[in-house]
Chains A and B, each alone.
Chain A
């Protein structure tokens, strides 16, 4: 560029700076105002509104219904309950089918194949018992509910109902310094925390978006539901008389969900008043017109966009975890496996907070996916207690078909009702899975917030479990 042009450029820039002082501070506002004025003029000439508005305004009527004092909340609860109920009911069958195929048919076949090609035992163990099994487990637990939950959620979204939920619930979130849309990211989190974190993009205010991201983990995700239900059935359902057992364990799970909601509000409140106080904050919520959802396309896109992407990430993380799980249980140091050593070392700390070494180790090595926590716990319990004839060997995750068998193993491993209760609490309050941690990092671009989102729940979990254990022991 020539000197001449350069100097011209500088003189233009300087001139503009001088003019900025002259046109004053409100220039931006006035420019936008003028722009809209022009838009109004043009629209006035080109938009023809029929003399009589249609007698029946569908949007208005529906809006009155879904936001009114008397019908709004019941409709909301019914819809959300229906979505959850359908997910649980419908996911069971394909889940069992996939598990039957991947775990009971393909896995033995792979092992046989390993023998047939004279694969060394350690390699076959690492590949098939460690990596393959972890990946397969995640798929069978995760895929069916997500493939049902996400499309249903997306249909509600496409219809335009979700913003109304945010509108209804905003008053609660406002008090906690959060955005009403957080209700939706939370519900999304019940499906998958990583998806919930991504969904926080709909919140366009930095502070509220960070709050939604950091607290999403307080929604127990689809990988944690089975843990909650199983442990509630074994330890709390058993406390009630047999005909009320189902009810008791269901109530226990609901209680954990409510505790999660409670922590979500408290932590949101705390964050917005402390570390996030300085972040810019605003509220905007548009209530778009209702649109008939297009079911087939929704099915397609939500399976592709959400389910498969999230599943893929989970599998990618789970496979190395499987390898790690297999390795720690099979590498021996001084006569005992690495896992046993760590379990013994962690046990005092675990017992102090009403858990045990097995659970702590399982949560450390199963960071990548909550789905494999229970299988890992079972495998490690058998390994640590040196039970013979149970399970499938060191490093091979397994689950029982019957709750009773699981209960027996756990009780043999020294579990008490306190262990059960605290495991449920710890499953709610612990660090997010690595997929979610990674997603949080991607979404916030900040190590600091990722660290807060990761460590905060775990610290809370340890404190809560410790307090419960102390109270329990004092009382009992």
Chain B
């Protein structure tokens, strides 16, 4: 298949930089987390990147164990964690906890959120939550071929503008969009591209006031924390993992991590 409008990104041209490393074991430069709703083709993306053959089924809840794989692209080694498919990161199922904990405490260099183009609205719910936690994210809108059959087109530029992170359109089953995805992952991982994720939603005045109060306190205690607003929201929800993280000092480490990466970025700019 040929895509004249993106010929410079042709698979032959760019894919040559990709080496699938299967389960991988060598040194890792970057860690990539794969998040997404159940049944959006997340495992297919995973298989495409790593050359592994995770079973994929047209059925929510198929992938139950966390899979790990690796690939090398453009001279760097990437480790990929396929997180369990979840609808959200808010509620209390084990799957959601695993996914949430990895994105927050596993400090992946990039979190790729895979979406289903035919059900974008529902999937965006998860994206917004991921973007609250991390600002290093790439959104991969999968199944655009299926969407096209249904007369749905996704405006990737507008979506990227709204979300503040790179958006890649893909049809992972045919391998379409994978070169672009790899590029974006590399750009975000290396810091060549700085994301400004959208973080604007709040419930109502009462909640906003409560969140603001907590944000102020947290910022004072943990300067440099990258996701203060989210931590505040989780505290309001009574999330035990976050309360523990505050008590144990884990949050301090996260804050230092955030501070460091900011410094790296600013020194690169100079």
Interface residues of B, dominant DSSP: helix
Smallest distance from the beta carbon of B267 to chain A beta carbons, Å? 27
Which listed residue (A1, A32, A43, A305) contacts B120, Cβ 8 A? A43
Q: Quick one: closest A residue to B127, CB to CB?
A: A39
Q: Quick one: closest A residue to B90, CB to CB?
A: A32
- A-B pair number, CB within 8 angstroms: 171
Contact call A28/B90, Cβ cutoff below 8 A: yes
List chain B residues, Cβ under 8 A from A42.
124, 159, 162-163, 198
Q: Quick one: closest A residue to B64, CB to CB?
A: A201
Interface footprint category on B: 35 or more
**Bitwise interface map of B from 213 to 232 toward A, beta carbon under 8 Å scored 1, else 0:** 11001101100000000001
Smallest distance from the beta carbon of A106 to chain B beta carbons, Å? 31
The 7 closest A-B pairs by CB, nearest first: A50-B151, A39-B124, A16-B235, A30-B203, A46-B159, A43-B121, A38-B201
Please tell me the number of chain A residues within 8 Å of chain B, measured between CB atoms.
Answer: 64
Smallest distance from the beta carbon of B206 to chain A beta carbons, Å? 6
Extra pairs beyond A290-B58, A301-B54 (11, CB < 8 Å): A12-B246, A13-B235, A13-B247, A15-B213, A16-B214, A16-B238, A19-B214, A38-B124, A48-B153, A158-B56, A204-B61
Whether A274 is near chain B, meaning CB under 8 Å from some CB there, is no
Q: Could you show 25 A-B contacts with beta carbons less than 8 Å apart? A: A1-B249, A5-B252, A9-B221, A11-B217, A16-B236, A16-B243, A20-B238, A24-B206, A35-B125, A35-B128, A38-B200, A39-B122, A42-B163, A45-B159, A47-B152, A49-B151, A49-B153, A50-B153, A53-B150, A57-B150, A159-B58, A160-B59, A201-B61, A286-B39, A291-B58
Tell me the B residues contacting A by CB distance below 8 Å. Answer: 39, 53-62, 64, 88, 90, 93, 118, 120-122, 124-125, 127-129, 146, 149-156, 158-159, 162-163, 173, 198, 200-204, 206-207, 210, 213-214, 217-218, 220-221, 232-233, 235-238, 243, 246-247, 249, 251-252
Which listed residue (A1, A12, A22, A157) contacts B57, Cβ 8 A? A157
Smallest distance from the beta carbon of B189 to chain A beta carbons, Å? 25
Interface residues of A, dominant DSSP: helix
Complex Cα spacing A12 to B59, Å: 42
Q: Quick one: closest B residue to A51, CB to CB?
A: B151
Smallest distance from the beta carbon of B176 to chain A beta carbons, Å? 15
Complex Cα spacing A353 to B264, Å: 78
**A289-B146 CB under 8 A given contacts A9-B221, A42-B162:** yes
**Bitwise interface map of A from 198 to 238 toward B, beta carbon under 8 Å scored 1, else 0:** 00011010000000000000000000000000000000000
List chain A residues, Cβ under 8 A from B88.
32
Contact call A288/B39, Cβ cutoff below 8 A: yes
Whether A31 is near chain B, meaning CB under 8 Å from some CB there, is yes
Complex Cα spacing A445 to B170, Å: 39
Smallest distance from the beta carbon of B256 to chain A beta carbons, Å? 12
Contact call A50/B152, Cβ cutoff below 8 A: yes
List chain B residues, Cβ under 8 A from A89.
none
Contact call A31/B124, Cβ cutoff below 8 A: no
Contact call B238/A5, Cβ cutoff below 8 A: no
Which listed residue (B151, B162, B207, B251) contacts A45, Cβ 8 A? B162
